[in-house]
Chain A
Amino acid sequence: MTKPIIEIKDVWKTYTMGDNILHVLKGVNLTIHKKEFIAILGPSGSGKSTLMNQIGVLDIPTRGKVLLDGHDISTLDESELAKIRGQKIGFIFQQFNLIPTLSALENVLLPTLFQDDSKEEQKERAMMLLTRMGLADRTHHKPSELSGGQQQRVAIARALINDPDIILADEPTGNLDSASGKDVMKMLTDLHHNEGKTIILVTHDTHLINYSKRTIYLKDGEIEKITNHNR
């Protein structure tokens, strides 16, 4: 095993609604290593989205620590979190979440806008990524002119533009037919194999755990079990 990239240490996330105190995460401990391909599996309400938000540094825990590359992010302010997100984590969403007014190429380039070292060669990189996603002839199309599968591939290219170590995919096949879904999963697998990206897959679809090497089963805010697959 390589060294840990994400360490979740006794993380609690608690929401207070009036008199109700809701513990969505109850002391989760999890270590994710570099170049791992893991799946976080659980029914809705299990807390997997909340856990994903902690891993993706979209949110900080109520209690406990989240270490990213050994640095505690629980103490960082919003702009520092945003900066880390932009550099270290590539998000892929169930809804694709492309900006409708922008072309495929512009959508891929969008994350570079928020890094201080926005450069011209990133356009070449974006073209290269789109080509790798099989979209070389779709670079100037708007999301509405692309199929679901194509949109999700644009989203993968966008997730890769800043060359992050971690790809965080939230139900990436949830809105796709099975053929497109397989395409997308193949691309994630390739990224894992060929480039050594750390892939974290969040899903309730038990079929997808066939792609992962380790599966975390989440239930009621706690880790129920962890299985290793020898693939």
Chain B
Amino acid sequence: MSSMFHQYFLLAGKEFKRRKLRSLLTLIGIIIGVAAIVSLITLGQGLKNAIDDQFDALGKDKLFISAKGNALTPGLTIDAVKITEDDLEVVKQTSGIKRAAGLIYSTGRIEFNEIVRYNFVSGMPEESEDRALVGEANSYKIMKGRSFEKGDRYRAVLGYSYTEPTFFEKSIELGDTIIIQDRDFKVIGFLEKIGSPPDDQGIQIPLDIYASVFDTGDELGILIAQTDSGENVEFVAAAVEKDLRNSRDVEEGKEDFTVQTPQQLAGSFATILDIVQVVLVGIASISLLVGGIGIMNTMYTAVLQRTREIGVLKALGAQNKHILSLFLVESGLYGLGGGFLGVSIGVSLALLTEQLFFVFVGPAFLSIEINMFFILGVLLFSFIVGVLSGIAPAYGASKLNPVDSLRYE
């Protein structure tokens, strides 16, 4: 029996070869559908991997405290709710917290080479350990020059983008002077490329200098806290939330601040991605359905064209079940062939996108993994789509009367 099926595959394969162009046309629907599904799912998974990697890099022992609604855009605070030094003190006192630091962002006026640009400027804490905590949570690493030291005043550390002549028609060098909000700052260091434009285009200055230049008083944009080792991050987050509620005098459920863990941040990204993915894959599935109908149409035509052959096969002893299997295997092969081409195209698209992201955006945004089980599953699924599409035509073929089909011209 098994060798018989092997033979059927050979027979169907030859049929496939006989009508190359028609086969390819038939398969376009399946190819597009499978390519879309494979690339979308692979890219979606790649984005999720990248996000997980990013949040893993932050460290699983970190908490992020910000004013409500400003978690991701701390520099754009327009309402009156503020996080201040007082809140930082409360967080530092909460049990389970090892260390906490605050920083603040805003858009500043940058002048160099007689050109003016507006970019993010952030105030970095003075204590080197606090700065290390902020740096670790943001993946900041010094590429050349140095970081801040105690006593640094009008000094600036610049993002990677400034080493290229992107903004000011020439690159900025160590020791150059740039003008931030009409004050001169001396450039003492550059950060390694991170891959996200807001980070790579950011400029860091000492926190107290920031407060005087931007006139922000004791306001902080975001607090980053590290828990003691061995503490449950979720528990500590709840404790921080409770202490802040008390100090800011707000009721539970009406907080004007948020405390988030990296897992929560990653989780909310993943949920959004999942929803987008389900919608896109749903749309791509329509193409698969259309592809299945295309195969069905081709199989009906094939049965008609080969009516005489079916009669011959029956004269040679083929039973209905043999004819049925023969045509089912053939339409299954159509599906499998379409699936194979679709997978190849889909994987190529995903890898190409990863390359484009790498070149134009940065290395950290997409981390593609080709999952062999997923690929095999897709191939099996395509074969099944083909077989299902072939059931009606194959059944029709198997029921043909041998006398009439032998006489068919």
Residues of A at under 8 Å CB distance from B?
53, 56, 58-59, 78-79, 82-83, 85-87, 91, 93, 97, 99-102, 110-111, 113-116, 118, 158, 162
Contact = CB atoms under 8 A, between A and B. Distances in A.
26 contacts: A56-B315, A79-B320, A82-B314, A82-B318, A82-B319, A82-B320, A85-B315, A86-B316, A87-B317, A91-B315, A93-B312, A93-B406, A97-B312, A97-B315, A97-B406, A101-B11, A101-B17, A102-B14, A110-B316, A113-B4, A113-B318, A114-B318, A114-B319, A114-B322, A118-B7, A162-B317
Contacts of B3: 118
Contacts of B318: 82, 86, 113-114
A47 to B, nearest CB: 13
B15 interface: yes
Contacts of A102: 11, 14
A110 B308 CA distance: 15
B132 interface: no
Interface residues of B, number: 26
Nearest to B8: A113
Contacts of B17: 101
B187 to A, nearest CB: 74
Nearest to A111: B316
Given A110-B316, A114-B317, A97 B322 contact: no
Contact of B18 (A58, A100, A118): A100
Contacts, number: 70
Interface in B277-325: 308-309, 312-322
A114 B18 CA distance: 23
A209 B313 CA distance: 29
B323 to A, nearest CB: 9
Interface of B: 1, 3-4, 7-8, 11, 14-15, 17-18, 308-309, 312-322, 402-403, 406
A102 B7 CA distance: 12
Per CB-CB distance, the 4 closest pairs between chain A and chain B, nearest first, are: A86-B317, A101-B14, A79-B319, A82-B319
Contacts of B317: 82-83, 85-87, 111, 114-115, 162
A86 to B, nearest CB: 2
Given A58-B315, A82-B320, A97-B309, 13 more contacts: A53-B403, A58-B403, A86-B316, A86-B318, A93-B312, A99-B309, A102-B14, A110-B316, A113-B322, A114-B313, A114-B319, A118-B7, A158-B316
A111 B8 CA distance: 13
- Among A59, A82, A85, A97, the most chain B Cβ lie within 10 Å of the Cβ of A82
A118 B318 CA distance: 13
A111 B18 CA distance: 21
